[in-house]
Structure 1
Amino acid sequence: MKTCFAAAFALATVFPAMHAATADAQLKTLYTSEWGWRIAEFQDDEDNTRPVPAHLPHVDTVSQEKRLARWQETLAALEKISPTELSPKEQVNAQVYRVQLQSMIASEKFRDYEMPANSDSSFWGEFNDRARRPFRTEQDYRNWLSQLSELPRYFGENIANMRAGLKRGFTPPQVTLQGRGDAITKTASAKPEDTAFFEPFKDMPPNIPASEQAALKAKALKLIMGTVQPAYRDLDTFWRNEYLPHTRKTLAAEDLPDGKAYYRAQILNYATVTTPPEEIHRLGLSEVAKLRGEMEKVMKETGFKGSFAEFQRMLRTDPKFYAKTPQELLDRAAWIAKEFDGKANLWFGLLPRGRFAIRPVPDDIAPFYTSGRGGPGVYLVNTYNLPQRPLYNLTALTLHESAPGHAFQMPLAAEDTSLPDFRRHSYISAYGEGWALYSEWLGQEMGMYHTPYDRFGMLGYQIWRAARLVVDTGIHSKGWTREQAIAYFRENTALPEHEIETEIDRYIAWPGQATSYYLGEMAIRAARAKAEKELGPKFNIRAFHDAVLATGSVPLPVLEWQVSKFIAGGGKGPYPELE
């Protein structure tokens, strides 16, 4: 452990001349320095405007301990800056930065890195995303080859972490991992040119000479066959023979080491609130009951004469509600996205420059993936198992994952150079998922739902997220079984059976995350209702949306504070010339 003198010396070295600077300058120095270090430390690949990283991050225990020490020192330095001496803008930055640091510190203390794979995501699956980013230069491709050469080391460090997690019972529940190793086996035995690692070489930019393209492709194929795939075979052996058979048989986060504190920390991380699990559970039950009543009213509008359960059965089985081909599903999603484009300027002043593509979820992860997922540059639509992908849900899904949801909000934040980088390129679930769920609800006002079935699908998605409050807390703090959670979803949502099971496994393996959606949406809708009431005829919907989106991804208390400032300013948005 560092002595007090050594710690003071380290801080003075990392944050030079802080004492002589103004409070704003001190804060900017602090977060700018740490962010630059963070990008280098993690070889961040999420900002597509930067070159492809040349290395893979180190995830071994020594590296994790160094990160914890750095973030603890940074938080200590932040706490020494008086908020009253900061400008209003930097006060917000300080609030967001404090929450971000606290979350990263908690993750390191609980040693989350010892569980780098679950039913929803994995360290090997991340390469699908890395391979999809833009490759623009010859150096980008050389950097990618460098990453491939480091993959055995990266896999080895993750395997060592998983062994440590196994030893202390810190693993995902075994029931949620069935079939999740199939992608490892498939990659290990595939033709090198059919793997995600070769994907960037299939459409190389013309500014790279043909001879150099051929040489780079040859090097890639050699690395994939001789370096990458052997690492996958080692991982496959570890997963099937050592890891999976010994993962825990329990479900609850509270059954993990220091489980009660861990689950509370996960709720705080994702939902940015300190609300107790029991209170979240009660709120979920209340909201599900309310939404169920609304769904039954819409059911009657369709002319259906049977019970709610019979209506759900009809929706899950009638072929008219399902696409016949993957392309039909993709085409319908594209049509909905373009319909929103025609309405966007009526509801938003500032629109993002970044556009997005619509692509199918990759085959190797599609069986266990969500129905769709969006972000900067892409809206993924799951075309696997079409009889489980109802079209009456597609409008709500598209508004959530593409525009004005994730593929709209995230580029807006990244393009806002008035925000510091640690806010432009970070994501807080309660805000991001809350906004995306609000986007589904907003579709009613935008005229996006053309039939009672579409509106039923929207309400079905709303009740799905409200039911998450019940199921997440039920599983992780009230002893619910997987079967009990599935039955609750089957009774209260219109989700297809396949999606119910993949979603429940996701909540089991990702405690706390599912609470962020509905809590975030409720906060945004409550903020809007407050603004409408207090501003009266001065309320401008485009100004309100711009004000919410201009915050970037922030904790819910910060969002509420920003909306209060919007109201106090007479409802003027950040871009009055656009409103």
Structure 2
Amino acid sequence: MTKIGAALAACLFVLPFAATPFAAAAPGDGDARLRAIYESEWQWRQQQRLENEEDETDGIAAALPQVDAASQAARRERWEDVLRQLDGVPEADLSPAERINLAVYRAQVAALATNVRFREYEKPLNADSSFWFNMTYEARKPFRTQDDYAGYVAQLNDVPRYFREQVANMRAGLARGFTPPKVTLAGRDATIAVVAEAKPEATPFYAPFKDMPATIPAAEQARLRAAAVKAIGEHVIPAHAELLRFMRGEYVPRATQDLAAERLPDGKAYYQSKIVEYTTTGLNADEIHRIGLAEMAKIRAEMAAVMQQVKFDGDLPAFLRFLRTDPRFYAKTPEELLMRAAWVAKKFDGKAGQYFGRLPRSRFAIIPVPPDQAPYYTSGRGGPGVYLVNTYDLPSRALYSLPALTLHESAPGHAFQMPVAMEQRGRPAFRNAYISAYGEGWALYSERLGTEMGIYETPYEVFGMLSYQAWRASRLVVDTGIHSKGWTREQAQRYLMDNTALSRHEVETEVDRYISWPGQALSYYLGQMAIVDARKKAEAALGAKFDIRAFHDTVLELGSVPLPVLKARIDRFIDEGGKGPY
């Protein structure tokens, strides 16, 4: 799924918007000028096929993106030209709604341009995801029409060209030492091999053809199925086999040994660009590291209170060993884990009306992570229509953490927040792009909210929530430690083992994710802090007038925005007396 963050500090933090977001000025022609810029660029961006993998309303494109170096350079030129055009739109000429659009759009385009400037496209994989596995998301979209299926067959036939361009980019990155660290790539070729060594009908790419709509005539269904089998057999599987040879014989053996982003080409500037993209703040690595240490101390105090509540006789390391090893805290079967996740989600449904005025129309399914990805995947992931639960290695999937995980990934987290935003009417399409600081901050806030909602039924589940809070706060320490302070992989793993109840397996996969995906792990806790601070400010200013449903509706109605935009919107919420958006 595409997750575009906000970007360049210079494009975000010098905006008058951040200080005086809604100065009284009669809009001139600025709204029309701004709309002309972003509507034109968005239409062009859609033609590039770089966005909206998450949007289930889109049809199925008949080709994969052009990702070669020349196409990337042309995109950078276009986005830098857009930024120059935006500099010519005076904010005083904009209506309040378009000021928000400007702040979101400028940061979004700056992020896109910056990623191309650092040639991020030469590293289209990390320990968590990859371009080849991301292709399987298209197969999970709803296929409704004959054209959808025909477009998808055309996509499958385009796989060899797409893979060749990606491999050429990876070779260029390899030549300059711009790769994920070698240690994080171990075993990640399994998701390639499972396709390269399969029959066409057994690959995930054939899944849409197994159950086709009855509105498509039977003869046409048979023709499309045959075309899919031919495309997968003659193009998709051979492309994966070629990619597998490249990964095993060339890429992984020569990948960089260094862990730190700051050791990559132009590394200090590169890592700072990722900090800005994923946090939408002007903080640097040292500042974030100090924040992480301070927040960890607060959470440790909360953990100690829970240990006293359950009358545990021992220190935190002993309590963590107890939680990791006592069989009462672990599901016996994958079905049990899935059913417990569903139970937590339904508990939220019973409380939702007390905390939210507007609920999304979209529903979500709870499904296990695909087995070929599960050994290296995170514990869960959610988005529009789906909550993926990792049922691999059940002794690593603690039931006391499952309520927090479910609130984060399903509702009121990702599978709730994203549809609420996407169902808004009258909003520019670019506003559906995902900004990690906001989206992950909201999902982590949702975990804390579970204490107010009565979701956590035992002190152990409360501790599971605190462990997850510590997990995200520790990321501030670990990510900056790895990428800026020379931490080793073992040092990072030890920090997580000492400060959270995560299993050894989860710690290992998580640390490899942080090593290979610099900056992304910083989104969560800094985003949550911004939402918590905004809520505290609103509660203090509004007193008895504060309505939690109106506050939540206001935050969610924005959709993904940079954190300064969120702060400014809550300031207006306060000025308007706590009135919600609906």
TM norm. shorter chain > 0.5: yes
Q: Which runs of structure 2 are paired with 1:175-194 in the superposition (5 Å)?
A: 175-194=183-202
Asked whether the equivalents of residues 476 and 508 of structure 1 are also in contact (C-alpha less than 8 Å), the reply is yes
Following superposition, the deviation at residue 223 of structure 1 comes to 1.2
Q: Which runs of structure 2 are paired with 1:44-59 in the superposition (5 Å)?
A: 44=51, 45-59=53-67
The residue that corresponds to 2:295 in the other structure is: 287
Identify which of 207, 220, 230 aligns with 1:199. Answer: 207
Q: Which runs of structure 2 are paired with 1:353-392 in the superposition (5 Å)?
A: 353-392=361-400
Give the Cα separation in 2 of the matches to 1:191 and 1:154. Answer: 21
Following superposition, the deviation at residue 307 of structure 1 comes to 2.1
- Answer yes or no: is 1:238 the counterpart of 2:246: yes
- Answer yes or no: is 1:480 the counterpart of 2:476: no
Cα distance per residue 1:534-570 (max 9 Å; x no partner): 0011100000000111111000001000000000000
The residue that corresponds to 1:214 in the other structure is: 222
Give the Cα separation in 2 of the matches to 1:467 and 1:188. Answer: 38
Amino acid of the structure 2 residue aligned with 1:246: R
Identify which of 143, 147, 164 aligns with 1:139. Answer: 147
The residue that corresponds to 2:562 in the other structure is: 555
The residue that corresponds to 1:351 in the other structure is: 359
Amino acid of the structure 1 residue aligned with 2:42: W
Identify which of 99, 105, 122 aligns with 2:107. Answer: 99
Q: Which runs of structure 2 are paired with 1:446-461 in the superposition (5 Å)?
A: 446-461=453-468
Following superposition, the deviation at residue 303 of structure 1 comes to 2.5
The residue that corresponds to 2:74 in the other structure is: 66
The residue that corresponds to 1:338 in the other structure is: 346
Amino acid of the structure 2 residue aligned with 1:340: F
- Answer yes or no: is 1:309 the counterpart of 2:317: yes
The residue that corresponds to 2:308 in the other structure is: 300
Q: Which runs of structure 2 are paired with 1:30-41 in the superposition (5 Å)?
A: 30-41=37-48
Give the Cα separation in 1 of the matches to 2:416 and 2:201. Answer: 33
Amino acid of the structure 1 residue aligned with 2:100: V
The residue that corresponds to 1:22 in the other structure is: 29
Give the Cα separation in 2 of the matches to 1:482 and 1:476. Answer: 11
Q: What secondary structure sits across from 1:273 in the alignment?
A: coil
Q: What secondary structure sits across from 1:124 in the alignment?
A: helix
The residue that corresponds to 1:514 in the other structure is: 521
4+ runs of 1 displaced by more than 2 Å? 43-46
The residue that corresponds to 1:119 in the other structure is: 127
Give the Cα separation in 2 of the matches to 1:509 and 1:562. Answer: 34
The residue that corresponds to 1:161 in the other structure is: 169
The residue that corresponds to 1:14 in the other structure is: none
Amino acid of the structure 2 residue aligned with 1:125: F
Cα distance per residue 1:163-221 (max 9 Å; x no partner): 00001100000000100011111210112111110011111111112222122111111
Asked whether the equivalents of residues 254 and 476 of structure 1 are also in contact (C-alpha less than 8 Å), the reply is yes
Following superposition, the deviation at residue 418 of structure 1 comes to 2.5
The residue that corresponds to 1:417 in the other structure is: 425
Give the Cα separation in 2 of the matches to 1:457 and 1:467. Answer: 15
Give the Cα separation in 2 of the matches to 1:300 and 1:215. Answer: 66
Cα distance, 1:49–1:72 mapped onto 2, change above 3 Å: same
Asked whether the equivalents of residues 264 and 274 of structure 1 are also in contact (C-alpha less than 8 Å), the reply is no
The residue that corresponds to 2:436 in the other structure is: 429
Give the Cα separation in 2 of the matches to 1:68 and 1:58. Answer: 14
Amino acid of the structure 1 residue aligned with 2:539: E
Asked whether the equivalents of residues 54 and 144 of structure 1 are also in contact (C-alpha less than 8 Å), the reply is yes
Q: What secondary structure sits across from 1:379 in the alignment?
A: strand
Amino acid of the structure 2 residue aligned with 1:561: A
Asked whether the equivalents of residues 43 and 53 of structure 1 are also in contact (C-alpha less than 8 Å), the reply is no
Unmatched 5+ residue regions in structure 2? 1-27
Asked whether the equivalents of residues 260 and 482 of structure 2 are also in contact (C-alpha less than 8 Å), the reply is yes
Cα distance per residue 1:197-254 (max 9 Å; x no partner): 0011111111112222122111111111111111111000000001000000000000
- RMSD of the TM alignment (CA)? 0.9
Give the Cα separation in 1 of the matches to 2:347 and 2:136. Answer: 29
Give the Cα separation in 2 of the matches to 1:413 and 1:238. Answer: 41
The residue that corresponds to 1:10 in the other structure is: none
Cα distance per residue 1:298-325 (max 9 Å; x no partner): 0221222122111111111111111111
Q: Which runs of structure 2 are paired with 1:480-499 in the superposition (5 Å)?
A: 480-499=487-506
Asked whether the equivalents of residues 118 and 172 of structure 1 are also in contact (C-alpha less than 8 Å), the reply is yes
Following superposition, the deviation at residue 43 of structure 1 comes to 5.5
The residue that corresponds to 1:564 in the other structure is: 571
- Answer yes or no: is 1:528 the counterpart of 2:548: no
Q: TM-score, normalization: structure 1?
A: 0.95
The residue that corresponds to 1:227 in the other structure is: 235
Asked whether the equivalents of residues 173 and 247 of structure 1 are also in contact (C-alpha less than 8 Å), the reply is yes
Identify which of 568, 573, 576 aligns with 2:580. Answer: 573
Cα distance per residue 1:440-470 (max 9 Å; x no partner): 0000000000000000000000000000000
Give the Cα separation in 2 of the matches to 1:295 and 1:53. Answer: 50
Give the Cα separation in 2 of the matches to 1:572 and 1:28. Answer: 28
Amino acid of the structure 2 residue aligned with 1:486: Q
Asked whether the equivalents of residues 54 and 384 of structure 2 are also in contact (C-alpha less than 8 Å), the reply is no
Q: What secondary structure sits across from 1:444 in the alignment?
A: helix
